[in-house]
Structure 1
Protein backbone atom coordinates (compact mmCIF):
# COMPACT_ATOMS: atom_id res chain seq x y z
CA UNK A 1 0.00 0.00 0.00
CA UNK A 2 1.26 3.49 -0.84
CA UNK A 3 2.28 5.73 2.01
CA UNK A 4 0.88 9.24 2.29
CA UNK A 5 2.92 12.27 3.25
CA UNK A 6 1.73 14.31 6.23
CA UNK A 7 2.92 17.43 8.07
CA UNK A 8 2.48 18.35 11.71
CA UNK A 9 3.71 21.45 13.50
CA UNK A 10 4.49 22.05 17.15
CA UNK A 11 5.03 25.30 19.04
CA UNK A 12 8.22 24.90 21.03
CA UNK A 13 7.82 27.89 23.34
CA UNK A 14 11.03 29.35 24.69
CA UNK A 15 13.29 26.57 23.38
CA UNK A 16 16.30 27.95 21.54
CA UNK A 17 17.10 27.08 17.97
CA UNK A 18 20.43 25.53 19.00
CA UNK A 19 18.84 23.34 21.69
CA UNK A 20 16.19 22.14 19.24
CA UNK A 21 18.83 21.50 16.58
CA UNK A 22 20.75 19.31 19.04
CA UNK A 23 17.58 17.33 19.78
CA UNK A 24 16.85 16.59 16.10
CA UNK A 25 20.35 16.13 14.70
CA UNK A 26 22.76 14.91 17.38
CA UNK A 27 23.05 11.39 18.76
CA UNK A 28 22.76 12.53 22.39
CA UNK A 29 19.71 14.69 21.63
CA UNK A 30 17.88 12.03 19.61
CA UNK A 31 18.46 9.45 22.35
CA UNK A 32 16.73 11.73 24.88
CA UNK A 33 13.33 11.64 23.18
CA UNK A 34 13.24 9.82 19.85
CA UNK A 35 14.71 6.41 20.62
CA UNK A 36 16.03 4.46 23.60
CA UNK A 37 19.51 4.50 22.08
CA UNK A 38 21.08 6.07 19.00
CA UNK A 39 24.46 5.23 17.52
CA UNK A 40 26.18 6.31 14.34
CA UNK A 41 28.57 4.53 12.03
CA UNK A 42 31.03 7.36 11.34
CA UNK A 43 32.39 5.81 8.14
CA UNK A 44 29.00 5.45 6.44
CA UNK A 45 27.02 8.13 8.34
CA UNK A 46 24.34 5.55 9.17
CA UNK A 47 22.30 6.11 12.33
CA UNK A 48 21.01 3.09 14.24
CA UNK A 49 17.93 3.78 16.34
CA UNK A 50 17.02 1.28 19.05
CA UNK A 51 13.64 0.89 20.80
CA UNK A 52 13.73 -2.03 23.23
CA UNK A 53 14.86 -5.01 21.14
CA UNK A 54 13.91 -3.40 17.82
CA UNK A 55 16.37 -1.50 15.62
CA UNK A 56 16.08 0.59 12.47
CA UNK A 57 18.76 2.32 10.46
CA UNK A 58 18.54 5.68 8.73
CA UNK A 59 20.76 8.00 6.74
CA UNK A 60 20.71 11.76 6.42
CA UNK A 61 19.69 12.65 2.89
CA UNK A 62 19.41 16.42 3.31
CA UNK A 63 20.67 18.88 5.87
CA UNK A 64 20.70 22.64 6.30
CA UNK A 65 22.37 23.30 9.67
CA UNK A 66 20.16 24.92 12.32
CA UNK A 67 17.16 24.77 9.93
CA UNK A 68 16.20 21.30 8.68
CA UNK A 69 17.34 17.70 8.55
CA UNK A 70 15.84 14.87 6.50
CA UNK A 71 16.37 11.18 7.27
CA UNK A 72 15.53 8.13 5.17
CA UNK A 73 14.97 4.71 6.72
CA UNK A 74 17.25 2.28 4.89
CA UNK A 75 14.48 -0.32 4.60
CA UNK A 76 11.96 2.15 3.10
CA UNK A 77 11.36 3.30 -0.46
CA UNK A 78 13.72 5.94 -1.85
CA UNK A 79 11.02 8.62 -1.86
CA UNK A 80 9.90 8.07 1.77
CA UNK A 81 11.59 10.09 4.52
CA UNK A 82 11.02 11.94 7.75
CA UNK A 83 12.08 15.52 8.18
CA UNK A 84 12.45 18.02 11.01
CA UNK A 85 12.30 21.74 10.15
CA UNK A 86 12.85 24.60 12.60
CA UNK A 87 11.23 27.98 12.05
CA UNK A 88 11.06 31.11 14.17
CA UNK A 89 7.71 32.90 14.20
CA UNK A 90 8.04 36.55 13.26
CA UNK A 91 5.46 37.98 15.65
CA UNK A 92 6.09 36.03 18.83
CA UNK A 93 9.69 34.94 18.31
CA UNK A 94 8.71 31.41 19.32
CA UNK A 95 10.28 28.43 17.61
CA UNK A 96 8.21 25.84 15.78
CA UNK A 97 9.19 22.31 14.91
CA UNK A 98 7.62 21.03 11.72
CA UNK A 99 7.66 17.32 11.02
CA UNK A 100 7.07 15.70 7.65
CA UNK A 101 6.59 11.95 7.62
CA UNK A 102 4.88 9.21 5.66
CA UNK A 103 2.39 6.57 6.77
CA UNK A 104 -0.08 4.18 5.25
CA UNK A 105 -3.54 5.79 5.18
CA UNK A 106 -4.97 3.54 7.91
CA UNK A 107 -1.92 4.18 10.17
CA UNK A 108 -1.68 7.95 9.75
CA UNK A 109 -3.65 8.73 12.93
CA UNK A 110 -1.47 6.40 14.99
CA UNK A 111 1.67 7.97 13.53
CA UNK A 112 0.49 11.45 14.47
CA UNK A 113 -0.32 10.32 18.02
CA UNK A 114 3.16 8.77 18.30
CA UNK A 115 4.82 12.00 17.11
CA UNK A 116 2.74 14.02 19.57
CA UNK A 117 3.84 11.85 22.48
CA UNK A 118 7.48 11.97 21.37
CA UNK A 119 7.43 15.76 21.03
CA UNK A 120 5.88 16.02 24.50
CA UNK A 121 8.88 14.07 25.78
CA UNK A 122 11.24 16.41 23.93
CA UNK A 123 9.50 19.44 25.45
CA UNK A 124 9.74 17.90 28.90
CA UNK A 125 13.49 17.31 28.41
CA UNK A 126 13.94 20.90 27.21
CA UNK A 127 11.88 22.32 30.08
CA UNK A 128 9.37 23.89 27.68
Structure 2
Protein backbone atom coordinates (compact mmCIF):
# COMPACT_ATOMS: atom_id res chain seq x y z
CA UNK A 1 0.00 0.00 0.00
CA UNK A 2 2.84 2.36 0.91
CA UNK A 3 4.51 1.63 -2.44
CA UNK A 4 1.31 2.48 -4.36
CA UNK A 5 0.86 5.72 -2.44
CA UNK A 6 4.47 6.69 -3.08
CA UNK A 7 4.02 5.99 -6.81
CA UNK A 8 0.89 8.15 -7.00
CA UNK A 9 2.58 10.94 -5.08
CA UNK A 10 5.62 10.83 -7.37
CA UNK A 11 3.40 10.83 -10.45
CA UNK A 12 1.43 13.79 -9.08
CA UNK A 13 4.58 15.77 -8.43
CA UNK A 14 5.86 15.06 -11.95
CA UNK A 15 2.59 16.07 -13.60
CA UNK A 16 1.97 19.22 -11.55
CA UNK A 17 4.01 21.59 -13.81
CA UNK A 18 2.23 20.20 -16.88
CA UNK A 19 -1.19 20.54 -15.25
CA UNK A 20 -0.53 24.13 -14.17
CA UNK A 21 0.72 25.03 -17.64
CA UNK A 22 -2.35 23.53 -19.30
CA UNK A 23 -4.69 25.27 -16.88
CA UNK A 24 -3.11 28.64 -17.65
CA UNK A 25 -3.58 28.28 -21.42
CA UNK A 26 -6.88 29.47 -22.94
CA UNK A 27 -8.84 26.81 -24.71
CA UNK A 28 -8.99 26.83 -28.48
CA UNK A 29 -12.56 28.14 -28.35
CA UNK A 30 -11.59 31.02 -26.07
CA UNK A 31 -8.67 31.97 -28.31
CA UNK A 32 -10.87 31.84 -31.39
CA UNK A 33 -13.53 33.96 -29.68
CA UNK A 34 -10.88 36.50 -28.72
CA UNK A 35 -9.66 36.70 -32.33
CA UNK A 36 -13.23 37.05 -33.54
CA UNK A 37 -13.77 39.95 -31.14
CA UNK A 38 -10.53 41.51 -32.37
CA UNK A 39 -11.76 41.28 -35.96
CA UNK A 40 -15.10 42.86 -35.00
CA UNK A 41 -13.27 45.69 -33.22
CA UNK A 42 -11.02 46.30 -36.23
CA UNK A 43 -14.03 46.36 -38.56
CA UNK A 44 -15.66 48.97 -36.33
CA UNK A 45 -12.47 51.06 -36.32
CA UNK A 46 -12.31 50.77 -40.10
CA UNK A 47 -15.92 51.90 -40.42
CA UNK A 48 -15.27 54.96 -38.24
CA UNK A 49 -12.11 55.88 -40.15
CA UNK A 50 -14.03 55.53 -43.42
CA UNK A 51 -16.72 57.89 -42.13
CA UNK A 52 -14.00 60.35 -41.14
CA UNK A 53 -12.56 60.03 -44.67
CA UNK A 54 -9.30 58.66 -43.31
CA UNK A 55 -9.16 56.19 -46.19
CA UNK A 56 -5.50 55.15 -45.96
CA UNK A 57 -5.79 54.43 -42.24
CA UNK A 58 -9.07 52.60 -42.80
CA UNK A 59 -7.41 50.41 -45.42
CA UNK A 60 -4.64 49.43 -43.00
CA UNK A 61 -7.14 48.52 -40.27
CA UNK A 62 -9.45 46.65 -42.66
CA UNK A 63 -6.49 44.62 -44.00
CA UNK A 64 -5.84 43.45 -40.44
CA UNK A 65 -9.50 42.53 -39.98
CA UNK A 66 -9.43 40.67 -43.30
CA UNK A 67 -6.40 38.64 -42.23
CA UNK A 68 -8.08 37.57 -38.99
CA UNK A 69 -11.39 36.80 -40.69
CA UNK A 70 -9.58 34.57 -43.18
CA UNK A 71 -7.67 32.81 -40.38
CA UNK A 72 -10.98 32.08 -38.65
CA UNK A 73 -12.74 31.21 -41.92
CA UNK A 74 -15.37 33.80 -40.98
CA UNK A 75 -17.00 34.55 -44.33
CA UNK A 76 -19.28 37.27 -42.99
CA UNK A 77 -16.47 39.37 -41.52
CA UNK A 78 -14.24 38.60 -44.49
CA UNK A 79 -16.90 39.94 -46.84
CA UNK A 80 -17.44 43.01 -44.65
CA UNK A 81 -13.71 43.77 -44.67
CA UNK A 82 -13.54 43.29 -48.44
CA UNK A 83 -16.47 45.66 -48.98
CA UNK A 84 -14.82 48.25 -46.74
CA UNK A 85 -11.56 47.92 -48.61
CA UNK A 86 -13.37 48.31 -51.92
CA UNK A 87 -15.20 51.40 -50.71
CA UNK A 88 -12.01 53.05 -49.44
CA UNK A 89 -10.04 52.32 -52.60
CA UNK A 90 -12.96 53.69 -54.61
CA UNK A 91 -12.91 56.86 -52.50
CA UNK A 92 -9.21 57.23 -53.26
CA UNK A 93 -9.95 56.99 -56.98
CA UNK A 94 -8.44 53.52 -57.37
CA UNK A 95 -11.46 52.09 -59.19
CA UNK A 96 -9.81 48.91 -60.51
CA UNK A 97 -8.48 47.93 -57.09
CA UNK A 98 -11.89 48.67 -55.55
CA UNK A 99 -13.55 46.42 -58.13
CA UNK A 100 -11.15 43.59 -57.28
CA UNK A 101 -12.20 43.74 -53.63
CA UNK A 102 -15.89 43.98 -54.50
CA UNK A 103 -15.55 40.92 -56.76
CA UNK A 104 -13.95 38.96 -53.91
CA UNK A 105 -16.73 40.00 -51.52
CA UNK A 106 -19.66 39.10 -53.78
CA UNK A 107 -19.49 35.27 -53.61
CA UNK A 108 -18.95 35.43 -49.84
CA UNK A 109 -21.95 37.69 -49.38
CA UNK A 110 -24.06 35.29 -51.41
CA UNK A 111 -22.76 32.34 -49.39
CA UNK A 112 -23.79 33.93 -46.07
CA UNK A 113 -27.11 35.15 -47.44
CA UNK A 114 -26.38 38.87 -47.02
CA UNK A 115 -28.71 40.36 -49.63
CA UNK A 116 -27.96 43.94 -48.57
CA UNK A 117 -24.25 43.31 -49.01
CA UNK A 118 -24.86 41.74 -52.41
CA UNK A 119 -26.84 44.81 -53.44
CA UNK A 120 -24.04 47.08 -52.21
- Calculate the TM-score normalised by the size of structure 1: 0.25
Q: Which has the higher helix share?
A: 2
| Structure with the larger RCO, 1 or 2 (CA within 8 Å, 6+ apart) | 1
Name the larger-Rg structure: 2
Q: Which has the higher strand share?
A: 1
- Calculate the TM-score normalised by the size of structure 2: 0.26
